[in-house]
Amino acid sequence: MAQSIAPNLVGFDQIPQTIPHFCIESFRRNAKPDALAFKLNDVWQKLSGADAMERIRRIALGLHSLGIRAGDKIAIISENRPEWSLTDLAILSLRAVNVPIYTTQAVDQIRYILEDSGAKMLFVSGKKLFKHAFEAIRSTETIEKLVFFDNDAKSEDERAITLAEVEASGEKSGDSISFDDLLSQVRSDDLATIIYTSGTTGEPKGVLLSNESFVANIVAISKGLPIRNTDRSLAVLPLSHIFERTVFYVLCSNGVSINYCASFDQLASHLAEVKPTIMTAVPRLFEQVYHKIVKKGKSAGGMKTKLFDWSLEVGQEYWAAKDKHESVSPMLAAKHAIASTQASLCSQNGGQRSAGVCDSLSLEEPRCLKSFLTHSGAPEFPSFRATA
């Protein structure tokens, strides 16, 4: 590992360079009471770092008792939730391979991914997704077990079990086999995941990524972004997307509290409740937020709309100068300070310090978007593109 390392990762060069080692060490080191959080029945359920480690251990041992071994392919189709990440880390702790499937993929694509990868097991979140993927699941002979995150979603399929049953099995088998021994066998060059492309020019193509490729991103991104272990994040993009998956590993390794957003419909309320200090999204999401804010500002009427228009113009002028590396006049700086204060007072979302990370810079309204991000206190950082 390079000599220059992010503060939150000091000492990580002394542990195996794998995803589960990084995330588990972070859970242990930071010992946060809210390492992971998910809203269930209108209440935010928090999972501590210690609880996360224990559940990863039980899931991994449970999977091992069911015959999962190094190189086995395990698929996951689920909305964003802690179980997605816990299962992922348990899979990788066994040197098995995670094959994520988008919840929006067509049945034929789901069937193809399951068959092409040779998935031995499939994790499904609940009844809705099981119903959606049923025909693909029924016809895939390689699947030996079908595991449901929701206890009440378990189907009558003889292969069906619940995640709770997997964990219970893992608890029982803990006396005969050590999780630490299994984890110690994970290598940096182990295959971690197979990401299937959209298949716009034919059938989806599987992209193979190892532990070391993710770890390289964790280390590089952690050095490039001002991430603090006191930050709060909101996971908005689906974890089946390579961008959000990498982001989870980066933030988890840095000790950031991760809050899950299961759908875009929940975004507005979750932003207000979580007040994330760092989050990632594709440009389109920020564009939608921007246009929604503009629409609301324009419809306010009277002095409110005039103040809104003035603040937006100031932001555009300010960042136009900044982008050209020109000096900002004292008058413009004063206007920007006032406009930012007004935006802060009017905002219902955001925390003390927000960072917005996009996976592209090709924005329809770059000046306006940057103004919006800045008014909300959010510096914008371009990220890498994960391509194969």
Q: Is the dihedral of CA 27, 186, 93, 225 positive or negative?
A: positive
What's the pLDDT tens digit per position in 91-130? 999 999 999 999 999 999 999 999 999 999 999 999 999 9
- pLDDT of 374 reads 47
Every domain of the chain with CATH number 3.40.50.12780 lies at 7-224
42, 254, 336, 341 from 319: Cα distances, Å? 39, 30, 10, 16
Judged on CB neighbours under 10 Å (0-12, 13-18, 19+), 271 is buried
- pLDDT of 367 reads 44
Q: Which residues pair with 44 in a beta bridge?
A: 39
Q: What are the structure tokens assigned to 227, written together?
A: 């991430």
Q: What is the pTM of this model?
A: 0.83
Q: Is the dihedral of CA 297, 300, 303, 305 positive or negative?
A: positive
What's the pLDDT tens digit per position in 222-237? 999 999 999 999 999 9
- Non-local (6+) Cβ contacts of 80 within 8 A are 235, 236, 238, 239, 244, 260, 261, 262
Half-sphere exposure of 286 (CA within 13 A, CB side): 30
Superfamily of domain 7-224: ANL, N-terminal domain (3.40.50.12780)
Asked if residue 158 has pLDDT above 60, the reply is yes
3-state secondary structure of 49: helix
> What mean pLDDT comes out for the span 283-301?
82
With cut-offs at 50, 70 and 90, classify the pLDDT of residue 308. confident
CA dist 208 and 244 (Å) reads 17
Considering the chain, what is the average pLDDT of its residues? 88
Q: What are the structure tokens assigned to 4, written together?
A: 């220059």
What's the pLDDT tens digit per position in 312-364? 888 888 878 887 889 999 999 998 888 776 655 455 444 454 455 554 333 33
